[in-house]
Structure 1
Amino acid sequence: MSGILAHGIGSRHDLPIPAFYAFAGALAALVVSFLGLAVLWAESKFRGREAGLALPHALQRLADAPATRTALRALGLAGAAFTVFLAAFGPDDPERNAAATLVYVVFWVGLVPASLLFGPVWRLVNPLRAVHAALARLPGRRRDREPPAWLGHWPAAAGLLAFTWLELVAPEPAANASMLAFFGCYAAVHLTGSLVYGPRWFDRADAFEAYSALIGRLAPLGRRADGRIVLRNPFHGLDAVTPVPGLVALVCVMLASTAYDGFSDAPVWVDTLQSAAAGPTATGTLGLLAAVAGVALLYGACIGVAGLIGGSRRPGGGNLRAFAHSLVPIAVGYLVAHYFSLLVIEGQRAFILASDPLDTGLDLLGTASRTVDEAVVAPGTIATVQVVSIVAGHVLGVIAAHDRSVRLFAPAKAVAGQIPLFILMVCYTLGGLTLLLAA
């Protein structure tokens, strides 16, 4: 796999577009959207889980049929079992074993477009749910308890941070032993939690389910409060994000880990890691934590000022959680910008290597003799997707924040209260583009 370096997956360096045009276009889009919303958008328009055009009942029955759910769960379990088999018995070399590519490219990166298109897909294929369903049928099982409300998304935020540490900081993220150890511990923790609290544990505490669900809020497919599958404006889905404890931490980890991934390739940081007295792993860990803390502190400061200006001082961190949904499209924009070319180019490697799973000369899929085609997408297309995704993510964030502010703030103070939020978006945009263009 090209450029493993300190990453779990190959590192790609795409041709940047001229910095002036990228920054000018991004700032112009943010300013125009902010001013336009201030003038034309005086009342909240998004209705969360109450909105959407119901799909035909036949499609609803097909999607909810036990056979469909069983098939999806079996697919997820088979994919996980195949990956574990490769990691346990295949060569410990990501150039000859598909396990690392399946984990860090097909699963981790591919989860983003899959969730954007179809919603919280990981909930449907999560192999841990299949294992839990089997364990729950054992005799002597106690009745499930409700997960405590204070727990919220905190376990999911911790799990996501742990996985990004494995990918970006761990000494050998693509080693079979590293992946088996991480996912073995991960499975043990979440199966234990699910046996105590039931399958609802996965909704809040499973990092990948929570991650997929947040991204899936932007999908055109969703469910109304009455359970109907609907076509919807993605903003309605975004508005339905539940402001539970740990939500801000989860979104900040999403943002900061991608930012750190971009910064970790910068020569100054590579030199710092190599020369640090504490060693690259300890220094990288501190760098990742500092990125999360920086994103969270900037968000908290801007939301705090916005609440003071807008006259909304909701207790218990209410304002922080109330606006956290506006960071989701920004995080998704970063994810698409950072990993688009990786999925398209390095994703081919998974099928090539999986055709000969144990490196014994087999060619099960007829792809073992092929090589990765790096020209499958033009550099200009990659650069355009990167910049557009970052700018679009921030514009969507501005719209989501505006709609929530006119709902929570006094009408006379709603626009003024958004100024700190607008500054937050500008800071994130400048930071994201700087990391992108410097790569």
Structure 2
Amino acid sequence: MGDKLLAHGIGGAKDLPIPLELAIAGAVAALVVSFTVLAVAWRKPRYDAATSGRTAPAWLDSLTSSTPWRAGWRAFGVLALLYVGWAAIAGQDTLINPFLGVFYVLVWVGIVPLSLLFGPVWKAISPSRTINWLLAKASGSDPSVGLYTYPARLGYWPAAIGLFAFVWLELVYPHSTEIGPVRLWCAAYLAIMLIGGALFGNKFYEHADPFEVYSSLVAKLSIWGHRDDRLLIRSPLANLDSLPAKPGLVAVVAVLFGSTAFDSFKDSSPWVQFIQSTTISPDLLNNLGLLAFCAGIALLFAFGTMTTGVGDGVRRSALPDLFAHSVVPIIVGYIIAHYLAYLVEYGQTTIIQLSDPLSRGDNLLGTADLTVNRWLSYHPTFLARLKVLAVVAGHVLGVIAAHDRAVRLLPARHQLTGQLPLLVAMVGFTVGGLYLLFAA
């Protein structure tokens, strides 16, 4: 059980009975064919946040915007915080403490499928938002408005820093499976969120809460959107196009993508052999490796988007943030490929452990007697195909999103040739992602 928590992406070459060369060749062909078809058939932009989508049924809009509905999810978030916090404070410092599974599995990985299905779930259940709301109401102030205006120039940079702090704890910090350090991280996170909410209101959570930004980013690939406070039903790509381009967005997607890639790389044979053969501290090398992967993704993407002509009123330096939405499907595809079995199998284990938060034989939630279904691990060929399909589908959707943005922003003479550097970057992401998936 402890090994699974440390292993994260269960699998690799042992559960991918598909030739690496065949998978890479098929993926690259899919990207090139997709780009060619788009070049011929997609000459005008098709997505517009101001007009896309249709209004959801009135009853659904009324339900999801009602006070009882929102209060119920707020209460769930706070109760979950108290329950898991109880396990973190009073439970045993062992790998069977459900606090670790909730933090690393149900929250960090589970936030992806939940946001794809239901929209920005962390915004709905965020304990820090709820506590900030309660404190504001108690003091007679407005929780949506803080003492100061959130600086626009900061954009998503605070969230990028918070996300990097999380992946550093998860992937690099040598004591990441001890209760104490993880508990301290969560306490610092909650304190920063409450102070930031008091200073800048809800704008702070939209831009600085790493879990909310992560969830809201993935939710842009769901069918649920909003315009003028009305619930909309959109195609996922049209919804993705509505993602606002703000400073720090490239940093956010680079941390999410780069850290997932590094999680595969650090378990690969070449990296393990290098770590074992050098006298340099493994912790230092892993720190540098994580930073290099995140920075490398950001630089490669920025180069791919900026090496083209620009249209009127568009600054070249703004292009990376304007195209960053196209990386979101790639991130989602790679996270599904890398963490699917981990989420399904260790997620079940965590739900079982939650009934016994103090590890003393309790069955408080009635789940202690359940057993883990390991169907995915018993069907490696199916799992392998699903992983490769997730990676390829994510990149194809990314190419479509980038193409639609390109035909809107780039001058006519550069609409196709201007996309070639970005296409090359995405091919590099695909090849690298599949190689790491197989090598882990």
TM-score by length of 1: 0.94
2:68 matched to which residue of 1? 67
Structure 2: distance between partners of 1:177 and 1:108: 19
2:429 matched to which residue of 1? 428
Q: After superposition, give the CA deviation of every residue in 1:168-210 in whole Å (9 maximum; x if it has no partner).
A: 0111212111111101111111111110111221011111111
The answer to whether the Cα contact below 8 Å between 1:387 and 1:433 also exists between their aligned partners in 2 is yes
1:3-402 equivalences under 5 Å are: 3=3, 9=8, 11-13=10-12, 15-16=15-16, 17-94=18-95, 96-139=96-139, 144=146, 145-223=148-226, 225-274=227-276, 277-305=279-307, 307-308=308-309, 314-315=314-315, 317-376=317-376, 378-402=379-403
Structure 2: distance between partners of 1:316 and 1:333: 28
Aligned length: 434
Structure 2: distance between partners of 1:31 and 1:140: 58
Q: Gaps (5+ residues) in structure 2?
A: none
Structure 1: distance between partners of 2:35 and 2:9: 37
RMSD, aligned α-carbons: 2.0
Q: Which of 359-368 and 234-243 deviates more?
A: 359-368
Q: How much has 1:316 moved relative to structure 2?
A: 7.0
Structure 2: distance between partners of 1:18 and 1:262: 18
The answer to whether the Cα contact below 8 Å between 1:6 and 1:172 also exists between their aligned partners in 2 is no
Decide whether aligned partners of structure 1 residues 366 and 58 sit closer, same or farther in structure 2, where only a CA change above 3 A counts: closer
Q: How much has 1:86 moved relative to structure 2?
A: 0.8
Q: After superposition, give the CA deviation of every residue in 1:11-59 in whole Å (9 maximum; x if it has no partner).
A: 4445112213211221111111000000111100011253112112111
The answer to whether the Cα contact below 8 Å between 1:3 and 1:10 also exists between their aligned partners in 2 is no
The answer to whether the Cα contact below 8 Å between 1:313 and 1:319 also exists between their aligned partners in 2 is no
Secondary structure of the residue that 1:229 maps to in structure 2? strand
Structure 2: distance between partners of 1:276 and 1:87: 37
* AA of the residue aligned to 1:219: S
Decide whether aligned partners of structure 1 residues 313 and 427 sit closer, same or farther in structure 2, where only a CA change above 3 A counts: farther
Secondary structure of the residue that 1:283 maps to in structure 2? helix
Q: After superposition, give the CA deviation of every residue in 1:125-152 in whole Å (9 maximum; x if it has no partner).
A: 0110011111213438696232010110
Structure 1: distance between partners of 2:192 and 2:277: 36
Structure 1: distance between partners of 2:278 and 2:171: 17
Q: Which of 378-387 and 197-206 deviates more?
A: 378-387
Q: How much has 1:155 moved relative to structure 2?
A: 0.3
Q: How much has 1:10 moved relative to structure 2?
A: 7.1
Secondary structure of the residue that 2:368 maps to in structure 1? coil
* AA of the residue aligned to 1:351: I
The answer to whether the Cα contact below 8 Å between 1:120 and 1:213 also exists between their aligned partners in 2 is yes
* AA of the residue aligned to 1:190: M
Q: Which of 257-266 and 376-385 deviates more?
A: 376-385
Secondary structure of the residue that 1:189 maps to in structure 2? helix
Q: After superposition, give the CA deviation of every residue in 1:283-310 in whole Å (9 maximum; x if it has no partner).
A: 21111001011111111111121x24x6
Decide whether aligned partners of structure 1 residues 275 and 99 sit closer, same or farther in structure 2, where only a CA change above 3 A counts: farther
Secondary structure of the residue that 1:109 maps to in structure 2? coil
Q: Which of 98-107 and 369-378 deviates more?
A: 369-378
Secondary structure of the residue that 2:225 maps to in structure 1? strand
Q: How much has 1:274 moved relative to structure 2?
A: 4.7
TM-score by length of 2: 0.94
Secondary structure of the residue that 1:262 maps to in structure 2? helix
Detail structure 1 runs of 4+ shifted over 6 Å in the superposition. Answer: none
Structure 1: distance between partners of 2:51 and 2:204: 25
Secondary structure of the residue that 2:232 maps to in structure 1? strand
* AA of the residue aligned to 2:224: L
Q: How much has 1:76 moved relative to structure 2?
A: 1.1
* AA of the residue aligned to 1:391: V
Query: Percent identical across equivalent pairs?
Result: 42
Structure 2: distance between partners of 1:58 and 1:289: 47
* AA of the residue aligned to 2:27: A
Structure 1: distance between partners of 2:439 and 2:372: 25
